[in-house]
């Protein structure tokens, strides 16, 4: 079992680690929304909180995510997802990537691997060194630090999916049951109804019809 440690990590185990990091990012977003008090805000405040969340995690989210990937890889040799599945990223000299190398790997390298419907990621399956295109352009190698850690990774991913689903349902329910927002929506509906022109009923008069002879 120990003989497989330090061997190149395959596609499946890296795939699990990648989606753990994605799930963690969504956990942060959902927790932000959950604790932002959506159940007590009126409709304008609710819209404002949604705009803030979209701005932070939509516009700045990419920068935060890539900073997280590069920082953890340069500091610990792996992201949280990779740590859980037991793999590590190193350069050709066997050292951790620098922060700049990490940014290049994840921003430029991932973009290259995403070309042709993600063929660069699938290249890991056939490459003898288990390198994707992003590994090749950045000079990085992903190896195992322990064996059979993929089981822990799968369990962690399933837990995150279940947890995020639970939080997501709670957010939706809190918004639906929000009395302030519900009252504002009802007022808007009533105002729209009041502004609609009343349907006029015209009683046809006999003078509009010519006499039949």
Across the range 106-131, mean pLDDT stands at 93
pLDDT at 3: 46
What region does 117 belong to: left with phi over 0, alpha with psi -120 to 50, or beta?
left
pLDDT at 1: 40
pLDDT at 48: 72
Whether 83 shows a pLDDT value over 50: the answer reads yes
Residue at token pair 């809190």: 174
φ, ψ of residue 202 in degrees (nearest 5):
-105, 120
Rounded to whole angstroms, how far apart are CA atoms 157 and 20?
5
Whether 165 shows a pLDDT value over 50: the answer reads yes
Across the range 111-138, mean pLDDT stands at 93
Whether 200 shows a pLDDT value over 70: the answer reads no
Q: Grade residue 84 by pLDDT with cuts at 50, 70 and 90.
A: very high
pLDDT at 36: 72
Rounded to whole angstroms, how far apart are CA atoms 33 and 40?
13
Q: Grade residue 2 by pLDDT with cuts at 50, 70 and 90.
A: very low
Q: What is the dihedral of CA 172, 175, 179, 183, to 10 degrees?
A: -120
Q: Return the higher-pLDDT residue of 37 and 68.
A: 68
Rounded to whole angstroms, how far apart are CA atoms 122 and 66?
21
What region does 42 belong to: left with phi over 0, alpha with psi -120 to 50, or beta?
beta
Mean pLDDT score of the chain: 83
| Residue 136 CB burial class (10 angstroms; 0-12, 13-18, ≥19) | middle
């Amino acid at each position: 079992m120990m003989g497989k440690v330090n061997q190149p990590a395959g596609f499946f185990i890296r795939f699990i680690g990648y989606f753990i990091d994605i799930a963690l990012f969504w956990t942060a977003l959902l927790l932000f929304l959950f604790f932002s008090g959506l159940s007590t805000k009126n409709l304008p405040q609710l819209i404002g909180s949604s705009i803030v969340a979209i701005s932070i995690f939509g516009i700045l989210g990419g920068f935060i995510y890539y900073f997280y990937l590069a920082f953890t890889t340069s500091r610990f040799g792996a992201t949280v997802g990779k740590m859980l599945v037991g793999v590590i990223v190193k350069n050709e000299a066997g050292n951790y990537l620098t922060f700049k190398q990490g940014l290049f790997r994840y921003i430029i390298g991932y973009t290259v691997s995403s070309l042709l419907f993600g063929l660069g990621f699938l290249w890991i399956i056939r490459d003898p060194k288990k390198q994707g295109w992003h590994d090749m352009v950045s000079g990085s190698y992903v190896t195992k630090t322990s064996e059979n850690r993929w089981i822990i990774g799968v369990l962690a991913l399933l837990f995150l999916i279940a947890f995020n689903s639970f939080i997501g349902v709670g957010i939706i329910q809190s918004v639906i049951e929000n009395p302030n927002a519900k009252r504002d929506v009802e007022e808007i509906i009533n105002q729209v109804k009041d502004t609609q022109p009343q349907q006029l009923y015209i009683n046809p008069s006999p003078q509009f019809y010519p006499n039949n002879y």
